Structure 1
Amino acid sequence: MAEPAIDPDAERAALGDRYFIRFEQDTLRQRPLWIRLIIEFLGTLVLVTVAAGSGVINHYVGNAPISRTAAVIAPGAVVMAMIYAWGPLSGLHINPAVTFAFAARGVFPVRWVVPYWVVQFAGAICAALFLQGMFGDVSTGGNYPITSSGGEWKSFVMEGVLTAILASIILNTATGGRSLGHNAAIAVGSTVALLGLFASPISGASMNPARTLGPDIVGNDYTGWWVYIAGPLIGAAIAVAIIGAVRGLPDKDELEAAEGGALPMTVTPTPESN
């Protein structure tokens, strides 16, 4: 008895279906913690290299060719780019205050907070070591309170206010699963830049303990260090309280955005081959 003829087009279609199902399963599979930590380390390293690099390079070459405007827009632009590229892999917190905010909101595993913090600070320190090795005097890329009377307290309040604004933007763009899309990349990146444009003369507009303490540790200059820990953490807590009051309990989309990527998908039956 002759075997039935095999339709090449049907066979190719079946192979294509199996490929795309496997691709979706690989893409949507819950990523292990070690992958997330690599992304958080690299992301923080890139952010601090850019954010602290302008001050270090200005000091190195002299005459301040990088303007204050460029120095605050650059970190916002690199955050925007990294959300597009790496957001689905870890949530791209790259900021201990953001990790704290997501955990306090109840959309990020508490057991992951310390590992995230460790690699974020490690990335910031490695970025500072790179700048120190390349150009020297990494302290010139640090953030410090204004030197006027009561400068540390004014800077502390400003860091709290700025972080509350930034964390509110991040938490609210995460709601509805938008953290991985265009809205979050543009909103978060532009917020980093805009807040720096008007507030950087007061405190440096750090909004990120790792960004400040990385250069401080390598440069051994801890001027006003408490401002850049207490201010961002209190600001993040304020943002969590605000979103809790106006939006209520978090939903599944927020959980997926905070952790990066999507939860494991239901396995789709593989089409039978002919």
Structure 2
Amino acid sequence: MAEGCGCEKDSCQISIQNPLAAVGTQEPLYEATELRTGAANPHWSRRLIQPCLPQKVVAEMVGTFAIVFAGCGAVVVNARSDGALGHVGIAATFGLVVMVMIYAVGHISGAHFNPAVTLAFACGRHFSWKMVPFYWAAQFLSATAGAALIRGILGSEKALGATLPSGTDWESLLLEFVLTFFLMFVIAAVATDTRAVGTMAGIAIGGTVALDALFGGPVSGASMNPARSLGPALIALEFRGLWVYFVGPAAGAVSAIFVYKFVHGPTQEVARGAHGCCE
């Protein structure tokens, strides 16, 4: 679709959204195409426009806010409605909101929505370390804002969906490591491997989130995301086992990016990286 058109007598400037941009890719946000008329054969010229840092930061804020508000909100609604959603409904909510936000802003920020994912991309040299603090700030602040809005609207049922270990901290730590490893492995595939990039990225990642939540939720809460855990914890003042949801996801995500690099193989050139890729 054209974003806008400024026509002159002999030319017309239009901006076309790039349909190939996907989660974690280095694709430009817009492809601006100029059509010159008045000749037998119209002449097209193109220039690529990258989204600027404020656009990326706001996109990360919107995406992370939506994940916490919808996902943790589902936990609160389930508690208030005597289990109307159920465990499957909560897992599906998290998976669906991740999927739709990837399609909404993945072409702008890379759709990290998760400090562990941002850390992994930076460690794997697919993302600039200079941008990490900006992404982390956006993710943690928006997650806290999402939890605050849930409390303002729905009250403080179930600690606002805060992730709490149901067993020992070490059990939850190991599970969070494995769950995040699976998630980051899929993200690495669709974001850094040209053989796996396509319009199915959102479905693949959202499906992985839902799958992890289905079998990991009753044990650790299946956070896989330090921001998703910290936001509700701050608003609900519930910090039991919080360290688990920083160490487990961070270690799992970083491990996954390097394992995928090994599986990907040195002979295949990685043509795509996260937004802000190091040169």
Normalised to the residue count of structure 2, the TM-score between the two structures is 0.80
Please report how far the alpha carbon of residue 21 of structure 1 lies from its aligned counterpart in structure 2 after TM superposition.
Answer: 8.3
After TM superposition, the structure 1 = structure 2 runs for residues 85-234 of structure 1, keeping only pairs within 5 Å, are 85-137=104-156, 139-147=159-167, 151-177=168-194, 181-234=198-251
Equivalent residue letter for 2:62: L
* 1:19 lines up with 2:22 in the alignment: no
Equivalent residue letter for 2:14: Y
Please report how far the alpha carbon of residue 176 of structure 1 lies from its aligned counterpart in structure 2 after TM superposition.
Answer: 3.5
More strand by share: 2
> Kindly tell me: are residues 248 and 179 of structure 1, through their superposed partners in 2, closer, same or farther at Cα, counting changes over 3 Å?
closer
What's the counterpart of residue 48 of structure 1?
68
Runs of 4 or more off by more than 4 Å in structure 1? 20-23, 177-180, 248-252
Does the CA-based 8 Å contact 1:48-1:128 persist in structure 2? yes
Taking every aligned residue pair, what percent have the same amino acid on both sides? 38
Equivalent residue letter for 2:155: G
Q: How far apart, CA to CA, are the structure 2 residues paired with 1:34 and 1:253? A: 25
Q: How far apart, CA to CA, are the structure 2 residues paired with 1:189 and 1:28? A: 29
Please report how far the alpha carbon of residue 170 of structure 1 lies from its aligned counterpart in structure 2 after TM superposition.
Answer: 0.1
Please report how far the alpha carbon of residue 85 of structure 1 lies from its aligned counterpart in structure 2 after TM superposition.
Answer: 1.7
After TM superposition, the structure 1 = structure 2 runs for residues 14-93 of structure 1, keeping only pairs within 5 Å, are 15=11, 18-19=13-14, 24-25=31-32, 28-59=48-79, 61-93=80-112
Q: How far apart, CA to CA, are the structure 2 residues paired with 1:231 and 1:175? A: 23
Give deviations 1:67-121, integer Å, cap 9, x for gaps. 1101011111111111112110000100001101111110101000011000100
* 1:259 lines up with 2:275 in the alignment: yes
Q: How far apart, CA to CA, are the structure 2 residues paired with 1:135 and 1:86? A: 27
Q: How far apart, CA to CA, are the structure 2 residues paired with 1:179 and 1:93? A: 18
Does the CA-based 8 Å contact 2:151-2:160 persist in structure 1? no
Q: How far apart, CA to CA, are the structure 2 residues paired with 1:190 and 1:67? A: 18
Q: Which shows bigger deviation, 21-30 or 202-211?
A: 21-30
Please report how far the alpha carbon of residue 247 of structure 1 lies from its aligned counterpart in structure 2 after TM superposition.
Answer: 2.1
Structure 1: runs of 5+ lacking an equivalent: 1-10, 263-274
Q: How far apart, CA to CA, are the structure 2 residues paired with 1:224 and 1:180? A: 36
Equivalent residue letter for 1:92: A
The structure whose Rg is larger is 1
Q: How far apart, CA to CA, are the structure 2 residues paired with 1:46 and 1:180? A: 24
What's the counterpart of residue 8 of structure 1?
none
Equivalent residue letter for 1:242: V
Please report how far the alpha carbon of residue 180 of structure 1 lies from its aligned counterpart in structure 2 after TM superposition.
Answer: 6.8
What's the counterpart of residue 268 of structure 1?
none
Does the CA-based 8 Å contact 1:179-1:185 persist in structure 2? no
Equivalent residue letter for 1:50: A
Does the CA-based 8 Å contact 1:88-1:180 persist in structure 2? no
Q: How far apart, CA to CA, are the structure 1 residues paired with 2:16 and 2:105? A: 22
Please report how far the alpha carbon of residue 146 of structure 1 lies from its aligned counterpart in structure 2 after TM superposition.
Answer: 1.3
Please report how far the alpha carbon of residue 177 of structure 1 lies from its aligned counterpart in structure 2 after TM superposition.
Answer: 4.5
Q: How far apart, CA to CA, are the structure 1 residues paired with 2:75 and 2:84? A: 10
What's the counterpart of residue 37 of structure 2?
none
Does the CA-based 8 Å contact 1:155-1:202 persist in structure 2? yes
After TM superposition, the structure 1 = structure 2 runs for residues 238-249 of structure 1, keeping only pairs within 5 Å, are 238-248=255-265
Q: How far apart, CA to CA, are the structure 1 residues paired with 2:175 and 2:81? A: 29
Please report how far the alpha carbon of residue 24 of structure 1 lies from its aligned counterpart in structure 2 after TM superposition.
Answer: 2.0
Q: What RMSD in Å do the two structures reach over aligned CA positions?
A: 2.7
Equivalent residue letter for 2:234: I
> Kindly tell me: are residues 131 and 180 of structure 1, through their superposed partners in 2, closer, same or farther at Cα, counting changes over 3 Å?
farther
